[in-house]
Amino acid sequence: MSVYLKIVFLICFLMFSCKGKKAEVLNETNGQDKSLLTNANNAEIYGFAGDSFTDGALRGFLGLSKTEGHPYSCLELNETTKKGKFAFSDFRKNEVVEFSFEKNANSLYSMALNGKILYLRKYVEEGESRVFLTFNSKDAESESNIRSIKGDEKKITAYTDGSKHEDEDFDRCRWELQKQLEFQKEQETFGKEEAQRHKDAK
């Protein structure tokens, strides 16, 4: 092999080696960045079906008008920032209620507003992560208390609880709220039209 070919071969080999090392470094760096982003975004999302507690006590606590429409809602809790936010299916687009909260004990949190305290406890029921909301601190003291309260029909207006939305962000939860609201409206419209048709047929 001529000296010239040896030099060309050596240059190509060095370029390939450097390119490979650069790719490894970039992949490693990207992996670290992705990990950092995942750890930094320590928010958990919970979804709630409408109920009497949400319609009245919870919305009143948040400074919202009460309703009997049982709107669905989304809750975000961020342990890193100690910030949270609520959105309801009857909200306008991008409308949210933001708040700060404190961690009182393992899985127990509280939010103070207008002289009143809302307690939030994370718990697990049949393998599903959930969050329990109440204004009674004793009710939120333990999972056994929660199970007892949920089995008491007289307490049904004293709490609400929601399920955790895995691998989902707040915007996705809100999008689902809008879809549920649209479906409800379609069902209401269909029901009215059916009632009118029956009335006209008589």
Q: CB neighbours of 72 closer than 8 A, spacing ≥ 6? A: 47, 48, 49, 50, 88, 89, 177, 180, 181
Residue range 42-188, CATH number = 2.40.160
Cα 110 off chain centre by: 17
Name the least confident of 22-26, 106-110, 168-172, 183-187. 22-26
pLDDT tens string 115-133: 999 999 999 999 999 999 9
pLDDT tens string 42-59: 899 999 988 999 999 999
Report DSSP letters for 101-165, one per residue. Answer: -EEEETTEEEEEETTEEEEEEEEEETTEEEEEEES-TTTTS-HHHHHHHHT-GGGTTSEEEEEE-
pLDDT tens string 75-111: 999 999 999 999 998 888 788 999 999 999 889 999 9
Cα(101)–Cα(165) distance, integer angstroms: 20
Cα(152)–Cα(150) distance, integer angstroms: 5
pLDDT tens string 6-45: 444 444 444 434 444 333 333 333 443 333 333 346 899 9
pLDDT of residue 98: 95
Return phi, psi of residue 176, to 5°: -65, -35
Name the pLDDT band for 193 (thresholds 50, 70, 90): confident
Nearest to 156 by CA among 47, 52, 56: 52
